[in-house]
Amino acid sequence: MSPQVMTPEDVVAELRDGMTLGIGGWGSRRKPMTLVKAIARSGLKDLTVVSYGGPDVGILCALGKIRKLVFGFVSLDSIPLEPHFRKAREQGTLEEIMELDEGMFQLGLRAAAWNLPFLPTRAGLGSDVLNVNREIKTIRSPYADHTELVAMPALRLDAAIVHMNRADARGNAQFLGPDPYFDDLFCMAADRAYVSCEKLELADVDLTRHLLNRTMVHGVIEAPGGAWFTECPPDYNRNEALQKQYAASARDLASWDAFVKEHLS
């Protein structure tokens, strides 16, 4: 099936309560915030969110959309710990969490992308990652040394949302900034993937930065400024003033309500 050109509302209409949703980007960098805002405005709930988290996680935590969170970290980069996420953890409003080493998280996405049940790794051995995630098992190498390894389970996604600098209507998309992050793995690990982009075009494609192809993508959304307020270089930098306003909104309900009314409604 060929990808479709969609609106944020079209994407939300294809999502369901209880889904496992992967969100691309990294911390407060190139997050698909136009789509996150559409989810925030919707009635969706009980989501399992899988993310190298930033304000995407904080906003959905603050609105009570997340039942389970799978994460390697949740940060605003220039503000090290995402304050709405921290508040959710302190208040115990997340029913379930899977807190992972960043490399284990990436291997979980890669296993799902490769249609494998798990991938072996040394990451996590001897750490509390295995103590707080009892569902993660270890295995012995079948070869001569019988090394003990962590069997990182696949992080399979019902849907994924990512944001890129450019895309075409066929679902091919490219990043122009310094880092692709793991957006391609999020898309390949998902049953359906949706990519928003700053501009819907693709002329003179730099194949070294052509990260997504149409076989990975279900829908394409043109969303100028779609990483608001996170960075999306070279199109724009992070809006640090607005990020500080967002972080401050975690202090009390009145501040949060005002932020929601101004920026998420």
Q: Could you read off the pLDDT of 206-236 as tens digits, one per residue?
A: 667 789 988 999 999 999 999 999 999 999 9
What does the pLDDT read at residue 254? 97
Q: Please count the other Cβ atoms lying within 10 Å of the Cβ belonging to residue 129.
A: 18
Asked if 36 and 60 count as a contact pair (C-beta separation under 8 A), the reply is yes
HSE of 180, CA atoms in CB hemisphere, 13 A: 14
As for how many domains the chain has, the answer is 2
pLDDT at 188 exceeding the cut of 70? yes
- Whether residues 207 and 148 fall in one domain: no
CA dihedral of 119, 122, 128, 130, whole degrees rounded to 10:
30
Tens digit of each residue's pLDDT (9 = 90 or more) over 21-76? 999 999 999 999 999 999 999 999 999 999 999 999 999 999 999 999 999 999 99
- Whether residues 76 and 138 fall in one domain: no
Nearest to 157 by CA among 132, 187, 119: 187
The Cα 155–Cα 138 span in angstroms is 17
Of the pLDDT bands very low, low, confident and very high (cuts 50, 70, 90), residue 189 is very high
- Domain, as residue range, for 127: 118-153
User: What is the chain's mean pLDDT, rounded?
Assistant: 95
Of the pLDDT bands very low, low, confident and very high (cuts 50, 70, 90), residue 99 is very high
H/E segment holding residue 58: helix 55-62
The Cα 245–Cα 249 span in angstroms is 6
The Cα 60–Cα 74 span in angstroms is 12
Report residue 249 as tokens: 């909104």
Q: Which of 153, 178, 208 is the last residue of a domain?
A: 153
Taking CA atoms, 202 is separated from 98, 168, 247, in Å, by 38, 5, 36
- Whether residues 90 and 8 fall in one domain: yes
Amino acid at 225: G
- Whether residues 47 and 163 fall in one domain: yes
Nearest to 216 by CA among 256, 184, 175, 257: 184
The fraction of the chain above a pLDDT of 70, given in percent, is 97
Q: What is the DSSP string of 171-184?
A: S-EE--SS--TTHH
- Whether residues 112 and 124 fall in one domain: no
- Whether residues 27 and 131 fall in one domain: no
Q: Which of 153, 179, 212 is the last residue of a domain?
A: 153
- Whether residues 37 and 139 fall in one domain: no
Q: The CATH number of the domain where 96 resides is what?
A: 3.40.1080.10
Taking CA atoms, 207 is separated from 204, 221, 234, 235, in Å, by 9, 21, 17, 19
- Whether residues 178 and 59 fall in one domain: yes
Of the pLDDT bands very low, low, confident and very high (cuts 50, 70, 90), residue 1 is low
Of the pLDDT bands very low, low, confident and very high (cuts 50, 70, 90), residue 3 is confident
- Whether residues 99 and 122 fall in one domain: no
Over residues 144-162, the mean pLDDT reads 96
- Whether residues 55 and 125 fall in one domain: no
pTM of the predicted structure, to 2 decimals: 0.95
Nearest to 151 by CA among 128, 135, 127, 174: 135
- Whether residues 113 and 134 fall in one domain: no
H/E segment holding residue 48: strand 47-53
Q: Which of 96, 129, 153 is the last residue of a domain?
A: 153
Residue 86 pairs with which residues in a beta bridge? none
- Whether residues 105 and 208 fall in one domain: yes
User: What backbone phi and psi angles, to 5 degrees, belong to 42?
Assistant: -85, 175
What does the pLDDT read at residue 88? 97
